[in-house]
Amino acid sequence: MAKKTVLAESKPNMNTVTEMVEITYDLFDLPTAQHKAGLAGLVLQIQSMNDRRLPKDSIPEVVGEVGTTTVTFRFTEKSVNGLMDDFYDARLVKVEVKSKWPGEPPLEEKLIDEKDDDTGQVKKVKRFVYEVVQPRGHFLEQHLSDGDGLWLKLWRDMLWNVPRSKPTTRGPYNSRADSKPCSESAATWKDLVAFDTARRKGLFKTDSISSALLLGAQALNAESVSFEGRVEQTLLLHFWPLTVLIFVPQVIENDGGNDFVGYSLAIPEVSDLDNFCRDYSSLLGRLPKEPRGYRPLGAVIDLPEQSALEFLQHLGGLADFQAKQGASRKVAASVSSIEYLHLVKLGNNVKSQSAGRIAPSRELMSRYFDIMRRGMYRNPLFRSGLLRSLLDSVREPTPWYASFSDLFQTRPWPLFVCCDKTPRNLPWFANDAAAQFDSIADDFKQSLEAFQSQQRTSLENRLMTDDAVTPNDDKPKPQLETLIYGLVRTYVNRKTEDRSKLKWDDIAKRPRLKDDKTGRERLDIPKDYSDAREKVVSDVFLAMRSRREQDFVDYFTATICSVGQYLPPDDFPTVALALIREPETVKTITLLALSANS
């Protein structure tokens, strides 16, 4: 909502031609995160035009300094035309596609050499050449880490598949590609003049909002109520695409293949306009450049909600970088939250698959960083399970393994248990599960060593002062996951040895084999032992997955406890009570432990 601005003390002449419109925007007056992101986008667009030394009279003026929540602009008809022409600037480029577009003849047809990935043979294939309109995105090209690369391609693809998915909405870009003035310019200036006229009368000027500007907007809703907004605020909606980060959620198929499904847009709810605009350009310049096919690797995510977490992590990374440079500002404080929208184009319509918002939290981002540390968890299904549990913990305390129950029930078991049917094009789930259990065990070991060291120091101090020694009952206890993992490991090892007639200790002493491709050494494990282990784990995994409540408890005790197990007296009640009170929790942990031991 714009502040009222008096342009003259005397009563204005309503018949005079408006040559300049001054508007003050306040973040707290704007109704949505898209409007706030658009305000930041407008500031950055004007800064970019100034940096590129465009004619001064074609650039709207920022009056004074950009404040924490407010900024004032002066618009003229010429500067509005220059603003829209530069923002919607586009060009014609030629693209090659595999099949003809319906109802549109290609510019040319050509034959190219293409190598078959499976056979390695090169064959001639036909390609069809078309000319398409491509948005320029001057601000993004100026600041993105790879310039006119994959990040900018992703932004262009998002525009053409989400807000501008219908060809009729691409008019402003088509005009600029034909070297004509932007078709939005005249209408925008007319709206600003109408706003100024209404303001002088103490009124607001409203008009309908297009879905090309506000995601999810409709001309009329189900109750036939028109979707309208204040025209000076609608101006901001042109510029939100400059300040969103775009991600592509990947879906893992049961055969291990993956596909990108739609776009997840991370929209910042800006709370400190000055700092956000000052730092956002640097954030773009620090985005990772590594490719993942035709997408940036840094844009590929496992869950739509992850887009908001990634935006916050980039802000946090920039803050850490600035702290090392001696800066004191906290970049993450420039946003109050990040909204995410997962949008998919289905036919001629764009559908919203999910939406939400995530507020920055030190604990949340610390745990997210631990999950996403490069190289620790490589299986996307395992990462997504950890992330779902992390996001659930924002509402209420949730253990890391909570979300895996649904995953185990809906996916084929070879995705979790290492076997001949496990997809080789996907990092193994079992390896990540084992890494998680090992990490928990290491944390417990470190806390136990710290406790024992503290006890020794305390005892020495008390002996030196002849004080009575008071025992400390705060000794760390192993978590339920660690106890169950140990029980499952003992069961699998002993049953495998009984079935294969081979001892693991004997196998571990064998000379190691060297991989011809990687040069790495690996243990020479006999096939009989591997087959026996696969059979032991898969049988128990499938049997437990189908059981619930008491049926599971009976099966657990009849199998896992059928071999000699040892639990310290202090730990036995932990497992026993969990089986009685939380059998489904024990079931989920046991399935994870079976995967880790496969």
pLDDT at position 4, please? 43
pLDDT of residue 525 exceeding 70 = yes
pLDDT at position 10, please? 40
Task: List strands edge to edge, sheet with 21-26.
Answer: 21-26, 70-75, 61-63
First-to-last CA distance in the chain? 60
The encoded tokens of residue 481 equal: 């996951």
CB under 8 Å to 494, separation ≥6 — which residues? 563, 564
pLDDT at position 328, please? 52
pLDDT at position 520, please? 76
**Residue keyed to tokens 């470190």:** 446
As a whole number, the mean pLDDT across the chain is 88
Reported as a pLDDT band with limits 50, 70 and 90, residue 7 is: very low
pLDDT at position 462, please? 67
Question: For residues 100 and 264, what is the distance between their CA atoms, to the nearest angstrom?
Answer: 29
CB under 8 Å to 339, separation ≥6 — which residues? 33, 266, 267, 268, 269, 308, 355, 356, 357
Reported as a pLDDT band with limits 50, 70 and 90, residue 192 is: very high
Reported as a pLDDT band with limits 50, 70 and 90, residue 376 is: confident
Chain segment 30-75, per-residue pLDDT in tens: 999 999 999 999 999 999 999 999 999 999 999 999 999 999 999 9
Chain segment 247-259, per-residue pLDDT in tens: 999 999 998 888 9
Reported as a pLDDT band with limits 50, 70 and 90, residue 330 is: low
Question: For residues 514 and 511, what is the distance between their CA atoms, to the nearest angstrom?
Answer: 10
Check if the beta carbon of residue 598 is closer than 8 Å to that of residue 413.
Answer: no
Chain segment 471-511, per-residue pLDDT in tens: 556 777 888 999 999 999 999 999 999 998 888 888 788 77
The domain ranges of the chain are 90-135, 244-377, 429-596
Looking at per-residue pLDDT, the higher value among 469 and 130 belongs to 130
Looking at per-residue pLDDT, the higher value among 125 and 318 belongs to 125
Check if the beta carbon of residue 594 is closer than 8 Å to that of residue 540.
Answer: yes
Tell me the residue ranges of DSSP E strands in 468-548. 513-514, 521-522
Give residue 583's identity as a one-letter amino acid code: P
Chain segment 123-180, per-residue pLDDT in tens: 888 899 999 999 999 999 999 999 999 999 999 999 999 999 999 999 999 999 999 9
What b/e readout covers 544-574, taking b as 16+ CB neighbours within 10 angstroms? bbeeeeeebbebbeebbeeeeeeeeeebeeb
pLDDT at position 9, please? 40
How do strand 291-292 and strand 349-358 relate by DSSP bridges?
Answer: unpaired
Q: Give me the mean pLDDT over the 551-557 stretch.
A: 93
pLDDT of residue 590 exceeding 60 = yes
In the chain, the percentage of residues whose pLDDT exceeds 70 is 90
Looking at per-residue pLDDT, the higher value among 104 and 458 belongs to 104
pLDDT of residue 3 exceeding 50 = no
pLDDT of residue 272 exceeding 90 = yes
